[in-house]
Chains A and B, each alone.
Chain A
Amino acid sequence: MTTQDETNRIDARPTKEFFISMLTRDIATDRAILDLIDNSIDASQSNSKTDSRISITINENEFAIRDNAGGLDLQIAKEYAFRFGRSASSPLTPNSVGQFGVGMKRTLFKIAEKFYVESRKNDICYRVDVDIQDWVQRENSWNFFFNLLGKDVLAEGETNIVVTKLRPEASELFSEHTFSIGLGNEIATAYFKQLFKGLTIELNGQQIISEDIYVKVSDELSCLNKEIKIDGVDVSIICGVTDRELQEGGWYVICNGRLVAEADQTVATGWGANGVPKYHPDFAFFRGLVEFTCADSSKLPWTTTKTGVDQDNKIYKAALYHMSASMKPVIAFLRERAQEVTYEAEGKINSTPLMQSIENAKAIRIYDAPAKNEFIRPERVLPTEENDKMASIQYAASVEQINSVKKSLGVTTNREAGEKTFQYYFKYECGNE
């Protein structure tokens, strides 16, 4: 074994600058803010609170997030919560949304120059104050420090994170009105399930309303529902149709209650692979929801930024097979619906049972859809053969050219010009068919 002492030591420690830049690079600011909400949700879950309130204040001068989810225990703060990455010995939070132990630090390092975190739990109230520049300069210490506070600063169970000095990029971003609107929309979709169940999130004093997912069902149109267990993870797959909305069609992927992919229309959720066509406006009626739930959140197929699925995850691969098989009959139905529209426009059919079935069905929350293990749908109507043997051709040409064709044919109407030229071509070029 190589001897290890000062004479042959090679310095391989990470620099804090590198660490910060790596940590904050690959996540958008709005998604980073969601990580803080995830922490609040985990706290309220581990404290069995169902009516937590999270308030976010965001503008060009400040950022703050305050919750009453139960508080962060000082002992946990000292040993685990501020460490970069989850240590193997840290206590588990069953069914948590925060998994990687980077959320809070990543967000604060991305937007703040100075911040503090204060919390009160078990009647101990404390504050951790951090000046990031100062911390970076202390090359040999990774520690933060806390002060105990008087109990009147926070109510029991409250946590308050305040950025006292924003980074210039963050300040600029937060000054844009559209940023906070976008953030509100992200929150409404990412936590639609918890918001429906009673969680309150306020953004700059306004309460955010859940952006739920709907499907349409009736006696003749159903929603397919499948529950499976893969390696200890409960997977629930629901898919069906609703009104056409190009941006909203696709798969919604949820891990432990948190939406990680919204209206996914890519190969990551099976589109354009193994007999499923690529996403197309004809399929904008499709809504699919796949939900992974597990006490051990490290098994869930999410990426660290929670902005998509980890496609190499074995559990996800297994679920993808079921998603692909479940969506096929729905896609077949939507293909026939598109064909029905064409037949109707061409006057070849008089009734449109597929279109009607969607129109007549009732929109309900996708979670409220009754469980059916098959996709029930009406039969299509095909054109009668006489109707189906004729079709029209329509095209535009310059008036000058049309007039000269009419003159050459000795006819007076455009229709005749079209018919005669077609017959002429057919006779000489396709006559042997």
Chain B
Amino acid sequence: MSNSGRKINYAVRPAKNVERKMMRDLFIRLRSFGRLEDYRYVGFGSKYFSDFILFHKVLNISDMTSIESDVHNRDRYEFNKPYANIKMEWGKSTEVLPKLATKHGKSIYWMDYDGAFEKYMLEDIAIISETIESGGVLALSFNCERLKIDEVNGANNLHEQLVKMVGKEYVANNIDTRGWASSKKTAVFLKNCIVDKIEHILKSRNYSLLEDEKLEAAQKLFFTYADGAPMVTLAYVFSSKIDRSRIESCHFSDLYFVREGDEPFDISTPNLTIKEIRHLMEIRPCAEKVNAQIFAKKDVDSLWENYRYFPGFSEIESF
């Protein structure tokens, strides 16, 4: 889908920027599975192609495909492509993925949806899970606002909203109505639907595979962040039984932001000036040197946690 390029320039969204670099560090570790330059990257480049630029520069991936539904402005997207080797595929993801998914080889998919979760995303997940190879990654980002539940008829209302989002087969008719005021509850619910879908596909796929070839998907990322609207990102690494030792040698869990369960890693970005950042970096890690009159603890913590990924934005005259 991806048409939010019109709405916002990704490059200046700090949490998104941090997220992208964390994903880069996750992908670098896939080296145990094979040469990164042999991987294919499939994403929604929009007009900025920020993810494409980063993954090409750092991972040296050249086989890149950007899915774009804004068919009416094709020339503009082609113009904005930073590298000629990026192939544009025009249409909605659900219509384009069946064509892309048949291609052999290891792939990284980042379906960075710009809207709230919708049923078609589960279809996309099914299409990708049907063909993704061992060593492949499926990452998904979507908007995850907390649900607004009507006080009068909470259960019905909640049920209806969830069914609309994911379909009847994922919503129990006696669903517990408590706790939905937090967007984490919705995030975990959606994560479970996604896992169900992936596992359903892998189960039928595994029936005709030899014992060593049988695939499983392991969750590695569960991010929450908000540059504006609250977002969720999930990433799954697929591996066959015979490749289990490779996935272990990736040592994903050494990355402090890796999350394999229901507790998300929240990417918080501090609201600090350049001068403040410089000062805080000089005194790090001595918390006692922080002037509490100037700095909020929350800002200091989030800077010190993610400083390696924190972007340094500054204004430039572009013409």
Please tell me if the beta carbons of A328 and B74 are within 8 angstroms of each other in the complex: no
A388 on interface, CB distance cutoff 8 Å: yes
Contact A325 B130, CB 8 Å, known A230-B207, A332-B98: yes
Chain A residues in 8 Å Cβ range of B99: 329, 332
Contact A335 B95, CB 8 Å, known A228-B208, A328-B102, A385-B74: yes
**Partner pick for A317 among B74, B96, B98, B207, CB 8 A cutoff:** B207
- B129, chain A: closest CB distance, angstroms: 9
- Interface size of B by Cβ–Cβ distance < 8 Å? 26
B201 on interface, CB distance cutoff 8 Å: yes
Chain B residues in 8 Å Cβ range of A331: 98
A382 on interface, CB distance cutoff 8 Å: yes
**Partner pick for B204 among A321, A385, A388, CB 8 A cutoff:** A321
A344 on interface, CB distance cutoff 8 Å: no
- Interface of B: prevailing SS: helix
Please tell me if the beta carbons of B123 and A274 are within 8 angstroms of each other in the complex: yes
Q: Which residue of A lies closest to B74 (CB)?
A: A385
Q: Which residue of A lies closest to B92 (CB)?
A: A335
- A108, chain B: closest CB distance, angstroms: 38
Bitwise, A217-258 to B at CB < 8 A (1) or not (0) is 000000000001010000100000000000000000000000
**Partner pick for A388 among B71, B102, B131, B201, CB 8 A cutoff:** B71
Contacting B at CB under 8 A, from A305-335, are 314-315, 317-322, 324-325, 328-329, 331-332, 335
Chain B residues in 8 Å Cβ range of A14: none
- A87, chain B: closest CB distance, angstroms: 30
- A428, chain B: closest CB distance, angstroms: 24
Please tell me if the beta carbons of A329 and B102 are within 8 angstroms of each other in the complex: yes
Please tell me if the beta carbons of B207 and A329 are within 8 angstroms of each other in the complex: no
Chain A residues in 8 Å Cβ range of B131: 325
Best-buried of A318, A319, A389 by chain B (most CB within 10 Å): A318
**Partner pick for B95 among A314, A324, A332, A385, CB 8 A cutoff:** A332
Please tell me if the beta carbons of B204 and A275 are within 8 angstroms of each other in the complex: no
Q: Which residue of A lies closest to B101 (CB)?
A: A328
- A299, chain B: closest CB distance, angstroms: 13
- B208, chain A: closest CB distance, angstroms: 4
A172 on interface, CB distance cutoff 8 Å: no
Please tell me if the beta carbons of B74 and A274 are within 8 angstroms of each other in the complex: no
B86 on interface, CB distance cutoff 8 Å: no
Distance of A385 Cα from B131 Cα, bound (Å)? 33
Chain A residues in 8 Å Cβ range of B227: none
Please tell me if the beta carbons of B71 and A275 are within 8 angstroms of each other in the complex: no
Chain B residues in 8 Å Cβ range of A230: 207-208
Q: Which residue of B lies closest to A335 (CB)?
A: B95
Best-buried of A321, A322, A335, A389 by chain B (most CB within 10 Å): A321
Contact A382 B204, CB 8 Å, known A325-B130, A375-B102: no
Q: Which residue of B lies closest to A324 (CB)?
A: B130
Chain B residues in 8 Å Cβ range of A273: 126
Contact A329 B72, CB 8 Å, known A317-B204, A321-B130, A382-B90: no
Chain B residues in 8 Å Cβ range of A131: none
Chain A residues in 8 Å Cβ range of B90: 382
Please tell me if the beta carbons of B207 and A275 are within 8 angstroms of each other in the complex: no
B97 on interface, CB distance cutoff 8 Å: yes
Please tell me if the beta carbons of A328 and B127 are within 8 angstroms of each other in the complex: yes
Please tell me if the beta carbons of A275 and B124 are within 8 angstroms of each other in the complex: yes
Please tell me if the beta carbons of A328 and B98 are within 8 angstroms of each other in the complex: yes
Q: Which residue of A lies closest to B123 (CB)?
A: A275
Please tell me if the beta carbons of A275 and B97 are within 8 angstroms of each other in the complex: yes
Please tell me if the beta carbons of B72 and A389 are within 8 angstroms of each other in the complex: yes
Distance of A332 Cα from B92 Cα, bound (Å)? 11
Contacting A at CB under 8 A, from B279-304, are none
Chain A residues in 8 Å Cβ range of B101: 325, 328
- A13, chain B: closest CB distance, angstroms: 40
Distance of A230 Cα from B75 Cα, bound (Å)? 48
Distance of A385 Cα from B78 Cα, bound (Å)? 12
5 tightest A-B CB contacts, nearest first: A318-B207, A328-B98, A274-B126, A275-B127, A321-B204
Q: List 24 A-B contacts (CB under 8 A).
A: A228-B208, A230-B207, A235-B208, A275-B123, A275-B124, A314-B207, A315-B207, A317-B207, A319-B208, A320-B204, A321-B205, A321-B207, A321-B208, A322-B208, A325-B131, A328-B98, A328-B102, A328-B127, A329-B98, A332-B96, A332-B98, A382-B71, A382-B90, A388-B71
Q: Interface on A for B, CB 8 Å cutoff?
A: 228, 230, 235, 273-275, 314-315, 317-322, 324-325, 328-329, 331-332, 335, 374-375, 382, 385, 388-389
Q: Interface on B for A, CB 8 Å cutoff?
A: 71-75, 90, 94-99, 101-102, 123-124, 126-127, 130-131, 200-201, 204-205, 207-208
In the complex, besides A230-B207, A321-B205, A388-B71, 9 extra interface pairs with C-beta distance below 8 angstroms are: A228-B208, A274-B201, A275-B98, A275-B130, A314-B207, A321-B130, A321-B207, A322-B208, A324-B130
